[in-house]
Amino acid sequence: MTLAYIGLGVFIEPWQVTLERIGAATLCGAVLGLDRNIHGKPAGLRTHALVALGAAAFVDGSLQLTAGDPSGALRTVQGIVTGIGFLGAGVILHPAGRNGTKGLTTAAVVWVAAATGTACGAGLYLLGSVTTLAVLVVVRVGGWMEHRIDRMIWREANGRQEADGAGAEKRSQGAEKAADAAKV
């Protein structure tokens, strides 16, 4: 049986490489999904873990089938990037009777979960891990910043201050009115 060289003079069995890649991808996807679950979003831990796992399986399988030829793996990655868009589109909702769209951030995180799975499937664990952490920072800090900006817009549009946490629905309606007025 052929051994796979993983660097620093270390050789391991090919099944161990696959297990490592699939495991790392599943973990990265699960971390992203857990964050979405905790915040009550439509796609959670299982969805994100499965997307990352699937992407890793496709890339690792492609690398094995083509004996490490990167052109086959690149075509596989191209298919993953295109195909995952359809899954992400299913997460996006257009609520009846309301302006706006829900689920865009979750759809984007599903897309990035596929990217982390792709990275791990290719053995690029650092890229997968750093991407996972960057997504968590963007989602958490970005959400906080959006909330602060919405409050500032509402205050400017209504010319008064409100206590934190009070009238969130009115603030979002005021922010929509201010944005509509700015368009005119």
Q: Where are the alpha helices (DSSP H) in the chain?
A: 14-38, 45-65, 70-91, 104-121, 125-158, 168-183
Task: Specify the DSSP class assigned to residue 99.
Answer: S
The SS3 assignment for 47 reads helix
The first and second tokens of residue 160, run together, are 């008064």
According to DSSP, the residues that pair with 5 across neighbouring strands are: 11
CB-facing half-sphere around the CA of 140: CA atoms within 13 A: 10
Higher-pLDDT residue of 156, 177: 156
Q: Give the total residue count for the chain.
A: 184
In the chain, pLDDT over 70 holds for what percent of residues?
77
Over residues 92-138, the pLDDT tens digits come to 876 766 777 788 888 999 999 999 999 999 999 999 999 999 999 99
CB-facing half-sphere around the CA of 145: CA atoms within 13 A: 6
**Helix 45-65 with 70-91: angle, nearest 10 deg:** 160
Whether the per-residue pLDDT at 4 is higher than 70: the answer is no
In the chain, pLDDT over 90 holds for what percent of residues?
39
The first and second tokens of residue 99, run together, are 């302006």
> In sequence order, what E strands does the chain have?
4-7, 10-12
Over residues 40-69, the pLDDT tens digits come to 888 889 999 999 999 999 998 888 888 767
